[in-house]
Amino acid sequence: MEAEALVSGRSIAVAHVNDWRDWVRLLKPRVVSLVVFTGAIGLFLAPGHLHPVLAFTAILCIAVAAGAAGCLNMWWERDIDALMRRTARRPIPTGRIDPDDARAFGVTLAVASVVVMGLATNLCAAFVLAVSILFYVVVYTMWLKRRTPQNIVIGGAAGAFPPVIGWAAVTGSVDVMPLLMFLLVFFWTPPHFWSLSLYACEDYGRAGVPMLPVVAGPRETRRQIFFYTLPLAVVAVLPWALGYAGPVYGVTATVFSLLFCGFALRVLMDRQDMAGRSLGGDWPARRAFRFSLLYLVVLFAALGVDRLV
């Protein structure tokens, strides 16, 4: 029989008692790293000056808020996480963290991040930060995700807020450039997630999540991936075309957007059976997914480099 211990009045197998790493996993650290990067670039590009301590605090608040939103997402989705191979080993479905504890942890971090952001920088940044958390948790996680295959399209806005928050932390307002960065992440999200969902759609189907490949099939998903990369390419070069970024960004955005369109075209042209399922293990979708991560990092890095030169 497995050794059990009394934890918070409950008898739990020692192997299922959480350690600090489980609490870190609740915050989805890999997602947070990308959010921090785009938020930091937004802060770096904004005109004006923010004391390094306050800039660090602003980025920390963005990271904690993203982690809190991820934690509340895991709390709400604990039932479907248990059904999907990719998420079944998360701390809540495995029983290492109690759902109520996770909810309390997420709410505490969310409130703290907004309050500290407001105290350290300004109310505008704190407001946008609060909106981003609510959008991800309430609009995307609780409302859209289980109801519509457009969940990623609309919900993608949640991940697009960080550069706007970074900008607002410095300026106290929202301008055209942060909105262009918002649009860049917004249009990047559907091809990014649909590429993943093409080869993870069995998981989503088992959990009853109406991701596009589950509802409309892989063939339609490939079409949508390709068609979303076209407005993405246009939006990507807009900062340069409108004079908000220089040639370093312009050339980088043009080249990488063309490459992304190429990857999306390969996804579209992937050899398929009659039902639209890939005959080659969905390798074009896997490559498009990996490239999409590189694409976003490179474009935001180019915006930063462009500011320096």
Partner 1 sequence: MDNFPPRLSAAAAAELHRKQRGRNVAMMVVLGALAALFFAITLVKLARA
Residues that bind partner 1 (CB under 8 A): 3-6, 11, 14-15, 17-20, 23, 51, 53-54, 57, 60, 119-120
Rounded Cα gap, residues 192 and 73, in angstroms: 19
Contact 84, 203 (CB under 8 A): yes
Write down the least CB distance from residue 64 to partner 1, Å.
11
Write down the least CB distance from residue 119 to partner 1, Å.
7
Report residue 282 as tokens. 């969905």
Indicate the residue among 57 and 257 with the shorter CB distance to partner 1: 57
- Which of 26, 29, 39 minimizes the C-alpha distance to 159? 39
Write down the least CB distance from residue 247 to partner 1, Å.
36
Across the chain, where does the E strand assignment appear? Answer: 4-7, 10-13
Neighbours of 2 (CB within 10 A): 8
Indicate the residue among 7 and 242 with the shorter CB distance to partner 1: 7
Rounded Cα gap, residues 308 and 261, in angstroms: 28
Indicate the residue among 120 and 237 with the shorter CB distance to partner 1: 120
Rounded Cα gap, residues 101 and 91, in angstroms: 11
How many distinct helices (H) and strands (E) make up the chain?
A: 14, 2
Indicate the residue among 54 and 142 with the shorter CB distance to partner 1: 54
Indicate the residue among 114 and 245 with the shorter CB distance to partner 1: 114
Write down the least CB distance from residue 14 to partner 1, Å.
5
Amino acid letter, 164? V
Q: Return the DSSP state at 272.
A: B
Write down the least CB distance from residue 115 to partner 1, Å.
11
3-state secondary structure of 269: coil
Indicate the residue among 165 and 303 with the shorter CB distance to partner 1: 165
Q: Residue 33 is inside which H or E element, if any?
A: helix 29-45
3-state secondary structure of 85: coil
